[in-house]
Structure 1
């Protein structure tokens, strides 16, 4: 199938966290399953069977169990999810020339140009089968001429589906869908549009861009383009080397462990905040230490994908303790987060309570308003 100049495939691992748990315990398959914390926790993921009762991610666990009291609730395992995500990444990386890892369970591949040599729909179907064969995880995909249409189409054929939208049919494909199907349209925007009488993407596409801009600001113009099936967003090549880092060379070399540990905590908290601001998760923490004699040593550790300060800080301190094993003054300490993937804090919340979630959000809101140094841990004072 010819898709003009671009052939973009969106791959989505169906109910990823639940699928991993079903692989580990086949008794869960086909039953209402909720992954997340108990009591005051939140739903991190749920099976399609649980979704039929109105359960969804980020919902308070008590509400979920009220809607679906017969569901099985399991704690979830960050490490298993991260390992499976990495396995799928390896399969995709060895199969396609260019791909973007959009989240822990979501990929875009750019097959542009391959249609001169292969049937790209068939190629995508074979990639789906290969992922299932090598990892056991079901995948839904959609092939289209841009990322927007491929993502929406993927959502429309879940679970375990596949489809292709030919070039030139993007607008007509989107037209009958409800506005809520469009990325960028959350509850607030959807309510505003429905108050304007706009219920479908077709209706949205017929509104003059100037009117949408007047009502929705800058997002109005972007929504107008998307409603017409237009999206020029490139597939951003995935690289394990992407990182966020910071380091500090001290004014005076020091052997003061209290000071050094405080600096490790400060720097970890600083780039942890940057990580969340960029809506990223890290899968690898590296600590660098330079002694006064300029000997430089580093240690790194692969971890389950996270952006949680308490996990990052614990990991950084463990690495620093292993590094600083000589009674020599330290000159420099550095912290680096690598193996970055897009994702939000929710992925790290299998064990956290609603209070913990709210605390992180409040802390980050204060830092955004008053600066990253506005709040520090008591141990850093």
Structure 2
């Protein structure tokens, strides 16, 4: 039986992915401060080049603030279709070679290479895979090779830009020791501030604190911190399957041809699983719509899309698929919607042309759905005025149930 200490894990990360794709299409952008995101006064930065980061710019920063820090920065709105295309190209290259891999996000992958040293060196194999990806996509990509996922990810960050690094088994603590605590995954601004207030500035200092004391300070997070500081991470590489999906379907009480009613159902169902998608912090790259007619004939149609979890984008695609599919003009018995090709990722990365207000709106919608239930906040397009949410739940705040009046066009 192979023990955890013998594992070999590679972490691949595409460097400044969105920026690199933009530079691939326009070579004049290379070496310049480049911002990807909304170009309006209320837009946000989705990604930025290393040159822009030197001015203190980071993702999720208001575009207005970023341009104040670097007035000569170049702004591009972004092209999620292109980013999704290159993400799939890299996934394909890895799937052709790796025995076991996990697609952690649109631009990040973990590979379990345990046991491959018996046949050839893992470093040599990983180096050749990196070169294959760069030849295929012409994009820079970095990797870290170590005994677990956490150390390999830190190694990748140290190898960037466009580099590679191997941490030999047994050297995990030595590698991490001199680093500031912020270099550890999951150590954010708040955790960092707590540690520094207690005089903990380096990973080595953190690793020397008794685990019981860290648990007293931070609860279960303290135990996790101690493990990371000591180079311990037993989390497995989760096999990636394109078949993973979120779906819903509805069989009507009476077969119908009422398109207005069907459209309302499409909106309701799309919002329902769109919310589930965001709850799981995932994006979908493929939509499937299913229709079952009254004679029980079942037809489906699917569409590969740019990775997203935004309702207004998903609704447009779902409706388009339905109208292409519904060609018999017979009574409909059932409709279904499925989102597949799921990857980890925050839906904000798709809001290149949207504003802070739009991002805040999605966050507010999801917060209300968390509190009261997803069925109590719906688009006006599918509100049945005889069954308004307030009538079902009298404890809902007045106005919950529709946001079309406040945010017209959404």
Does residue 156 of structure 2 align to residue 136 of structure 1? Answer: no
TM-score (norm 1): 0.98
Return the offset for 1:280. 0.5
- What secondary structure does 2:233 align onto? coil
Structure 1's consecutive aligned runs of 4 or more residues displaced over 4 angstroms after TM superposition are none
TM-score (norm 2): 0.91
1:246 and 1:201 map into 2 onto residues whose CA distance is 46
* 1:26 counterpart residue number: 27
Pairing partner for 1:358 from 357, 360, 374: 360
Does residue 57 of structure 2 align to residue 59 of structure 1? Answer: no
* 2:198 counterpart residue number: 196
Number of residue pairs aligned between Structure 1 and Structure 2: 379
* 1:329 counterpart residue number: 331
Q: Deviations over 1:225-265 (max 9, x none)?
A: 11111001111111111100011111121111111111111
1:158 and 1:346 map into 2 onto residues whose CA distance is 24
2:268 and 2:220 map into 1 onto residues whose CA distance is 36
Counterparts of 1:112-151 in structure 2, within 5 Å, are 112-151=114-153
Q: Deviations over 1:20-71 (max 9, x none)?
A: 0111010001111111111211111111011111111111000111111111
Does residue 78 of structure 2 align to residue 76 of structure 1? Answer: yes
Does residue 22 of structure 2 align to residue 5 of structure 1? Answer: no
**Runs of 5+ in structure 2 lacking a partner?**
384-410
Q: Quick check: 22-31 or 323-332, which moved more?
A: 323-332
Q: Deviations over 1:149-194 (max 9, x none)?
A: 0001111121011110011111121111111111111111111111
1:281 and 1:109 map into 2 onto residues whose CA distance is 21
1:62 and 1:240 map into 2 onto residues whose CA distance is 38
* 1:185 counterpart residue number: 187
Return the offset for 1:326. 2.4
Counterparts of 1:154-303 in structure 2, within 5 Å, are 154-303=156-305
* 2:306 counterpart residue number: 304
* 1:46 counterpart residue number: 48
* 1:14 counterpart residue number: 15
**Runs of 5+ in structure 1 lacking a partner?**
none
* 1:86 counterpart residue number: 88
Select the structure with the greater relative contact order (CA < 8 A; seq sep ≥ 6): 1
- What secondary structure does 1:262 align onto? helix
Return the offset for 1:4. 5.2
2:12 and 2:194 map into 1 onto residues whose CA distance is 31
Q: Deviations over 1:191-250 (max 9, x none)?
A: 111112111111111222222222222211111111111001111111111100011111
- What secondary structure does 1:94 align onto? helix
